[in-house]
Amino acid sequence: MTDENEIVQLRQQVDALGERLAAMEAQLAEVQRLADYYRESQQVDEETMMVISAAVAAVLGHKAKVKQIQLASSVGWTRAGLTEVQDHSRARPVLRPSRITLH
């Protein structure tokens, strides 16, 4: 009798673990979907790259190869805009562009 009870308990535990595994796999799939969406939304299109390259060339006075562009969050820009609107004693806020690595 004890062996049958142990087998029943083990089957119940295996079933419970199977359900937990299925739930975790569903969560992992959702996380991967969100990561893919985030990665795709962070892509910089070719036209934007050309505009940034032209701006860098204008500032430096010569053509430079843009190797990396890191997108900045809009929180900093929002905060800077609010600072400008609310603090009229400053001439203008100091805005920092996204990080650009040149070669």
Render pLDDT for 27-84 as a digit per residue (tens, 0 to 9): 999 988 888 887 777 677 788 888 888 888 888 888 877 777 766 666 666 777 777 6
Which of 37, 45, 34 has its CA nearest to residue 71?
45
Q: In this structure, which long-range contacts are made by residues 57-65, counting pairs with CB atoms below 8 Å and at least 24 apart in sequence?
A: 60/102, 64/102, 64/103, 65/102, 65/103
**Which domain does 86 fall in, by range?**
62-102
Does residue 57 lie in a domain region?
Answer: no
Mapped onto helix, strand or coil, the DSSP state of residue 17 is helix
Is residue 69 located within the same domain as residue 96? yes
Does position 100 have pLDDT exceeding 60, yes or no? yes
Does residue 74 lie in a domain region?
Answer: yes
Q: Residue 94's pLDDT band (boundaries 50, 70, 90)? A: low
Total structural domains in the chain? 2
